Amino acid sequence: MLLNLDNNSFISTILILTLPLPIFLYLLNFIVKYLKKEPIEDEDYYLYNNYVVDRVNLYRISYIIFINYLIRAQALYCYSISI
């Protein structure tokens, strides 16, 4: 889905990449606490807990979008050479 070579709009690309980010970080919080053997508190069960809020920022979102466009450009370049 991320390497979809169709003509997606810029807004749809941003939504596709950033909507799963809080869910991913929510699950990552549990994994990190399990690996560090820290207790899971009541606050950790909220979707937008402190761990998620601290890590969802504009820099991270722009980094993900930039990497996606680099991968798409490389895929388009390789696709155009092979034809």
Domain boundaries, the chain: 10-82
Separation between Cα atoms, residue 27 and residue 64, nearest integer Å = 18
- Predicted local distance difference test score (pLDDT) of residue 27: 96
Does the predicted model carry a pTM greater than 0.85? Answer: no
Is the pLDDT confidence value at 5 over 60? no
Q: Which residue has the tokens 């490389």?
A: 74
How many whole angstroms separate alpha carbon 46 and alpha carbon 55? Answer: 15
Look at residue 80 in the predicted model and tell me its pLDDT: 77
